[in-house]
Amino acid sequence: MSVSPFEERYRTEMNVIFEEENKLRKWMDVEIALARAHASMGTIPKESVKKLEDASKKVKLERVLEIESEIHHDLMAMVKALSEQAGDAGKYVHLGSTSYDIEDTATALIFRDAIELLEKRLNELSDVLKKLAKAHVETVCIGRTHGQHATPTTYGMKFALCYQELKRNIERMKEAKKRILVGKMSGAVGTMATFRGKGIEIQEKVMKELGLKPAPISNQVIQRDRHAEVMSVLSLTASCLDKIAKEIRNLQRTEMGEIGEPFKKKQVGSSTMPHKRNPHKAERICSLARVVRSNLIVAMENIPLEHERDLTNSANERVIFPQSFIAVDYMAKQMIGILSGLQFFDENIKRNLELTNGLIMAERLMVALTDKGVGRQEAHEKVRTLAMEAFEKKRHLMEVAKENIDELNEKEIEELFDYSTYTGNARKIVENALKE
């Protein structure tokens, strides 16, 4: 049984990309690309490349781990295992390179696959948000600031806001790919000395075959600001999902009860309280977001390695890279399920609009007075006084306004308290936000 919940409980299609088996294959892909570059330049026999390709298909992870247990070096364990299967071509494996020429370049290949999967997932989620924004463009609800009732807004606005933020994170991911999809073949301290004057050409050939860009300069590693940028985008994306989940959690509170997570017929909310319908999936998303954001701190700490590099990044990257990608993918997948089955309780949405006895229309009343020639500050003070009176006496603001405002007749005042007509340009704003 695995120790990490990312192996079972939070597992997605992302796991396969970061599993040891795939990492091993990516390492050998880089080794073969290096051999092919050598062969094209005449530094090794061309027929050796085919032998190495065939040998790579025979290498087993179990054998690599067995060798590693003896020599305590994971990359060299792969080199030895590949050489064992390659016969006389084995002497050309890893020629001129250092471990992180292979490992960092392979990491770029893994990141490419991981980002591609995550982009598909996030685009699917953005489609769900877009549909919800369109479907609820006219669903008027109370807006809240500082946890207090403010003025009316719409659920279309809520979903379109999240849609736009998610799209920005998808765009950030695309931008980050420009800087993370790079590889290196530069040797122990970045000088390419072991390639004897042919290093730049070899590096270019290897990266061209792998579909990566060559790092313009490196030391023993690809510089970790590139990886930290990706981790930053993952953290921003996790925070976006956290934000959506937190809104759902708050709106599902008993006192509000406007929306709710999907709740299956046999689902249990509490081990002791049979009535509970806890927003546990949204809470799980919020919880995992904290893990992803904490991993960003580690990625930032990896940037200032000592001199031409030290090994303090290595162990933690085995944790933070797969963990963060899997977590965000899982969170996005869960959010798609939540939003696709989101429940709306219209009677509670309407009830909450009326909860303050019309106080939420105080702003509109103030603006209407300025339209009648009352100064803005005077109008504000007049309506503020009436609002406090309505609150203290538990009366509807509309009735208090009718008794105390001479500038507006009763019909005008009544029209001002129609919540559905005080959402400004909400429909147009949503339509603009949803344009591709």
Segment 148-176, tens digit of pLDDT: 999 999 999 999 999 999 999 999 999 99
Residue indicated by tokens 């995550």 = 118
Does pLDDT of 2 surpass 90? no
Helix or strand run (H / E) with residue 120: helix 99-135
DSSP state of 264: -
For residues 175-182, average pLDDT: 97
User: Alpha-carbon distance 359 to 107, whole Å?
Assistant: 57
User: Alpha-carbon distance 184 to 32, whole Å?
Assistant: 14
pLDDT in tens, 219-275: 999 999 999 999 999 999 999 999 999 999 999 999 999 999 987 767 766 666 777
Looking at residue 297, its amino acid is I
Residue 435 near residue 420, CB atoms below 8 Å: no
Task: Return the structure tokens found at 363.
Answer: 């702003």
Active-site positions?
A: 146, 270
Helix/strand/coil for 154: strand
Task: Return the structure tokens found at 296.
Answer: 């960003």
The domain 114-182+221-261+276-354: what is its CATH number?
Answer: 1.20.200.10
Per-position DSSP letters for 50-69, written without gaps between them:
HHHHHHHTT--HHHHHHHHH
Residue 40 near residue 205, CB atoms below 8 Å: yes
**Assigned CATH class of 14-85:** mainly alpha
CB-based contacts of 388, cutoff 8 Å, min separation 6: none
pLDDT above 70 as % of the chain? 98
For residues 188-216, average pLDDT: 96
For residues 329-358, average pLDDT: 97
The residue among 159, 141, 160 whose CA lies nearest residue 151 is 141
For residues 101-123, average pLDDT: 98
Measured CA to CA in angstroms, residue 163 lies from 231, 237, 281, 433 at distances of 21, 12, 20, 8
Residue 16 near residue 326, CB atoms below 8 Å: no
Looking at residue 104, its amino acid is D
pLDDT in tens, 67-102: 999 999 999 999 999 999 999 999 999 999 999 999
User: Alpha-carbon distance 358 to 409, whole Å?
Assistant: 17
Residue spans per domain, the chain: 14-85, 114-182+221-261+276-354, 359-416
pLDDT in tens, 393-426: 999 999 999 999 999 999 999 999 999 999 999 9
Instruction: Give the model's confidence band at 334: pLDDT under 50 very low, under 70 low, under 90 confident, else very high.
Output: very high
Residue 383 near residue 400, CB atoms below 8 Å: no
The residue among 352, 347, 364, 373 whose CA lies nearest residue 398 is 364
